[in-house]
Amino acid sequence: MSIDVFYFSGTGNSLQVARQIARHVDAWLRPIATYDRQTEPIGPEDALGVVFPVHGFSLPRVVETFLKRVDLCRYEYIFVVSTKGGSPDLVVRDVSRLARRQRRTVDAFFSLSMPNNTHFIHDLDTDDEVDQKVRRAEEDVLRIATVVQLRDKYIPPQAKTFSLTLLGAVHRFLSLTEFGGFGRRFSTTSACTHCGVCVTVCPSRRIVMGKGRVSWDTGHPCYVCSACVNYCPAQAIRNRGLKPSRTQPSSQYHHPAVRALDIAAQTET
Ligand SMILES: Cc1cc2nc3c(=O)[nH]c(=O)nc-3n(C[C@H](O)[C@H](O)[C@H](O)COP(=O)(O)O)c2cc1C
């Protein structure tokens, strides 16, 4: 009886949660970003966990693609953990719909409030808020691990309101358009030192370094994960769609325990 924990993460919140769950329940940690390129077969695990950030009120497109491709029926127990900045979301509804396409249900859903990693939607958290949320998430992970170990069911109640339908429409628009073109508006400022960190952390391999110049190859999808903006050591990545945060004009966020190299590892095959 063993467990696959697949994860996707831009700034480490979901990676850290996935790592901690994997440690507690003794699971294999597998990056969603390399699933398409993976050559070795996935082992005979009987349980599947999927951990990812909420993007635009639901799951990131790369996670949606993964859930359409992975054979859910080969797992006896499936759990889903989403991390988010704090807005309402449609994860339970949308993942359940994807599972139903394979005549499968998800056994447990968990949602963790973690530090926000983009001021596209909300302001970033203060240092104190980051500390609090990170600590609370660590406690929540222990509860999740217990439920998973016991293979218990946990489906949180879902409100069925008009606003959820509206959020669904907004999510579809954002997902199909790389956040209204946001994913196509990255550039570097003169502070860029061409260190290449952005190239290595980008989970879609979209960022390329050519002749001392960083550019975004629009032939690759942008997962809009904000890893490049948040891990740039020179804070040199800008997006024309990203207004300066009101409270922290030049700040960045990534999970304190997750380094750029850890994020980069999710694309190493
Ligand atoms: C493009 C984008 C969209 C986001 N949309 C939402 C959202 O709709 N609701 C929310 O609560 N948080 C949202 N967030 C915040 C992240 O879900 C949250 O910070 C998450 O824990 C980041 O996880 P990661 O570090 O594993 O990438 C968004 C972040 C990004 C980059």
Question: Is there a domain that residue 169 lies in?
Answer: no
231: Cβ below 6 Å to ligand 1? no
Domain count for the chain: 2
On whether both 52 and 139 belong to a single domain, the answer is: yes
CA 259 to the chain's CA centroid: 15
- The pTM of this model reads 0.94
Residues 132 and 187 occupy one common structural domain:
no
- 84-109: per-residue pLDDT in tens? 998 889 999 999 999 999 999 999 99
How would residue 245 be classed by pLDDT, with cut points 50, 70 and 90?
low
CB of 49 closer than 6 A to ligand 1?
Answer: no
Of all atoms in ligand 1, which is nearest to the CA of residue 15? Answer: 26
Q: Is 82 in the pocket of ligand 1 (CB under 6 A)?
A: no
Kindly state whether residue 168 falls inside one of the protein's structural domains. Answer: no
Question: 127 and 208, same structural domain?
Answer: no
Single out the residue in 102, 133, 149 at which a domain terminates. 149
Q: Residue 210: which pLDDT band, with cuts at 50, 70 and 90?
A: confident
The DSSP letter of residue 112 is E
Tell me which H or E stretch contains 79: strand 77-84
Minimum-distance ligand 1 atom for the alpha carbon of 57:
8
* Single residue among 97, 127, 149 that ends a domain in this structure: 149
**Ligand 1 in contact with 137 (CB < 6 A)?**
no
Is 110 contained in some domain? yes
Instruction: List beta partners, residue 3.
Output: 47
Whether residues 107 and 215 fall in one domain:
no
Residues 24, 143 within the same domain = yes
Q: Are residues 123 and 219 in the same domain?
A: no
Nearest CA to ligand 1 atom 31: 225
The strand pairing partners of 154, in sequence order, are 108
Q: pLDDT at residue 242 above 90?
A: no
Residue 111 structural domain: 3-149
**Per the domain annotation, does 248 fall within a domain?**
yes
Looking at the structure, tell me whether residues 112 and 212 fall in a common domain: no
Q: Is residue 118 part of a domain?
A: yes
Q: Is 111 inside any structural domain?
A: yes
21-79: per-residue pLDDT in tens?
A: 999 999 999 999 998 666 555 666 799 999 999 999 999 999 999 999 999 999 999 99
**Ligand 1 lined by 226 (C-beta under 6 Å):** yes
Indicate the angle between helix axes 162-176 and 91-100, nearest 10 degrees: 70
- Out of 50, 112, 116, 186, give the residue to mutate to test ligand 1, the one with the largest number of ligand atoms within 8 Å of its CB: 116
Percent of the chain with pLDDT over 90: 71
CATH of residue 45's domain is 3.40.50.360
